[in-house]
Amino acid sequence: MATSLILCSFCLLLFHLQTTRANNNQHPNCDTFRCGGVDILFPFGLKQSNQDPRCSYFPVPSFQLSCINRTQTVIDIPGFGNLVVKNIDYDSQSIQVNDPNGCLPKRFLHNWNLSGSPFILNPRIYGSSPFNLTFMRCPSNVTGSSQFPPLMPISCLSDNNRNYSVIASWSQPIVSSTMMPELCQVMSHSLVPLPVLDMPMWPFWPDLNTDIELVWTEPRCGDCALSGQVCGFSDKKNQSLRVGCFPGDSGKGLSRSAKYGLTIGVGIPGLLCLIGISCFVCGKFRRLSHRRRGTHLPMSISLQPVPFAAGLDGATIEKYPKTLIGESGRLLKPSDNTCSICLSEYEPKETLRSIPECDHYFHADCIDEWLRLNATCPLCRKSPETSTASFSSSSPASSSFSSPQ
């Protein structure tokens, strides 16, 4: 029990030290904001939050986000307009955005660019540059006709009431040489960011309304997020725009190394503590069970080692007196009504055998088997003297506690 208490105390102390260390390392000035399920940390800031300007990368306005009704995080990107922020990954320095009205293709119909913002298209997803697509307005009966390849209209640009659909196709001669231009009206030739994995859908593309993933390279804060630290300006007086990593709670919890250390430092002692408590409880339960069992069975057979290992031979055992219980079932000793070997009560017409030295009775079959292995009484451990077992077999066989009816 003492060992269990020591282990538990050690676990609580270690957990307290880890928690205190995390609390002492929190960033003193910058709070973590959350809007629409998006955590807002450096280099991003939240407009109208009365936040310290140093808590965001203030030289670039695009890093200032807006929170609409506490459910929608909005970013204003020059050359693209307002977009809804779906997710920010501070480890990879990426941000996923979409159109607030759910019609991102409408943005592509007009000239757009990211040159005036700190963001670029993620090259691992979109390759080196966007793809040139042609947006065409076609009669609905054309897009649904079997004479042409299967077309997937862009739902947010199409108008079922006016019976026209808008499709986007590859701007290549292989498409323009077909009958499509004669039946459809070209709306725009636009650059569209298409994931490289979507190229098998060539030459026609579906809604084009999936989230766009942008990345930023400055300021560099990815290493800080990976190590569980806070990114911020190194110069407290704002005389330079250098950023660095500082200990603190970045809103994502502890770093990977800290999590591993906490798991080993707290998990293993905690497991040992749990095992110790379980063993203590099991020991208490066993002792209680033994006490209860001893109360109900005071005549139980002792498990202590016997002084003699050798048993008796069959001829010697047969010399011990036998007794036949009558139908009334009465015994000379009313308290001895249970065989201490099989723990069964004696029944009428059963044959018992007794040991002369101690006058203890047992079922004949039970004591015979016992004496073949142990030359002692199961109850008192007295060793029968073979020399005294010289009575005739007829006398005990004829004795009984009550006459058979």
Residue 261 binned pLDDT confidence (cut-offs 50, 70, 90): low
User: Residue 211: its pLDDT value, please?
Assistant: 93
Residue 337 binned pLDDT confidence (cut-offs 50, 70, 90): confident
278 vs 16: which has the higher pLDDT: 278
- Amino acid (1-letter code) at residue 297: L
The first and second tokens of residue 51, run together, are 């936040």
List the helix and strand counts (H, then E) for the chain: 12, 18
395 vs 98: which has the higher pLDDT: 98
DSSP class of 247:
S
Where in the chain is CATH 3.30.40.10? Answer: 314-398
- Please tell me the least confidently modeled range out of 14-18, 40-44, 103-107, 389-393: 389-393
Q: Concatenate the DSSP letters of all residues of 88-132 into one string.
A: EETTTTEEEEE-TTS-THHHHTS----TTSSEEE-HHHHTTS-EE
DSSP class of 305:
P
Instruction: Read off the pLDDT of each residue in 131-145 and give the average, rounded to a whole number.
Output: 79
Q: Give the number of other CB atoms < 10 A from CB of residue 315.
A: 9
User: Residue 82: its pLDDT value, please?
Assistant: 93
Residue 291 binned pLDDT confidence (cut-offs 50, 70, 90): low
**Nearest CA among 250, 274, 270 for reference residue 262:** 270
**Nearest CA among 349, 347, 340, 329 for reference residue 379:** 340
User: Residue 217: its pLDDT value, please?
Assistant: 93
Residue 265 CA to residue 270 CA, distance in Å, equals: 9
Give yes or no for a contact between 345 and 330, defined as CB atoms under 8 angstroms apart: no
Instruction: Read off the pLDDT of each residue in 281-300 and give the average, rounded to a whole number.
Output: 59
314-398 to CATH, choices 3.30.360.10, 3.20.20.140, 3.30.390.30, 3.30.40.10 = 3.30.40.10
Percent of the chain with pLDDT over 90: 18
Instruction: Read off the pLDDT of each residue in 5-25 and give the average, rounded to a whole number.
Output: 48
At residue 83, does pLDDT exceed 70?
Answer: yes
Instruction: Read off the pLDDT of each residue in 88-103 and give the average, rounded to a whole number.
Output: 94
- The average confidence (pLDDT) of the chain is 75
Q: What are phi and psi of 211, to 5 degrees?
A: -60, 145
- Please tell me the least confidently modeled range out of 151-165, 241-255, 276-290, 373-387: 241-255
User: Residue 151: its pLDDT value, please?
Assistant: 66
Instruction: Read off the pLDDT of each residue in 194-215 and give the average, rounded to a whole number.
Output: 75
CA distances from 198 to 123, 186, 194, 207 (A): 14, 23, 7, 12
CA distances from 59 to 54, 63, 134, 231, 275 (A): 10, 9, 37, 16, 57
* Highest mean pLDDT pick, 228-237, 248-257, 305-314: 228-237
How does pLDDT run across 183-200, given as a tens digit for each residue? 788 888 888 998 877 655
How does pLDDT run across 104-129, given as a tens digit for each residue? 999 998 888 898 899 999 999 988 88
The first and second tokens of residue 270, run together, are 């905690």
Residue 119 CA to residue 215 CA, distance in Å, equals: 5
44 vs 178: which has the higher pLDDT: 44
Residue 250 binned pLDDT confidence (cut-offs 50, 70, 90): very low
User: Residue 195: its pLDDT value, please?
Assistant: 84
Answer whether 0.85 is exceeded by the pTM: no
